[in-house]
A = this chain, B = another copy of it.
Amino acid sequence: MIEVYSDEYFMKQAFNEAELAKAADEVPVGAVVVVNKKIIGRGHNLTERLTDVTAHAEMQAITAASSYLGAKYLTECTLYVTLEPCAMCAGALYWSQIGKIVFAAADEKRGFKNMGGQLHPSTKIEGGLMAEQASDLLKKYFKSKR
């Protein structure tokens, strides 16, 4: 059983978003932004649907969270995302000064860590939670596209 309001609980919510992306035939990545155990922003990858490379899950979740808070900075918030953010999303997260990032699968090829991106010095980051499920979801998607 998933403990309510645990990291796993919120990551599962990010997975629900990833499933929405998958259902829309998009690369399945999902994200939620949480503050005080409450989800204040959600997003899933919509780059194909919107014909827009900027429409990553994290970008939409950040925009939604800032809109909810009426504040640009997300210093008290945590982002849960099913895949390591890319350099663009890491750059947006840098500007947002987000408190913490929890991601599932690492992205060796396009993740910000190997692309040279950086986060705000005050942002904590953890990777690996439900990483296998996230990798499986992505692998199945790409396999279905071949």
Contacts and interface: CB of A to CB of B under 8 A. Distances in A.
A89 B87 contact: no
Contact of A52 (B48, B52, B72, B116): B72
Contacts of A70: 51
Q: Which of A59, A73, A95 has the most CB of B within 10 A?
A: A95
Q: Which of A53, A66, A86 has the most CB of B within 10 A?
A: A53
A115 interface: yes
Contact of A53 (B52, B53, B72, B112): B72
A32 interface: no
Contacts of A94: 87-88
A71 interface: yes
Contacts of A63: 52, 54
Contacts of A66: 51-53
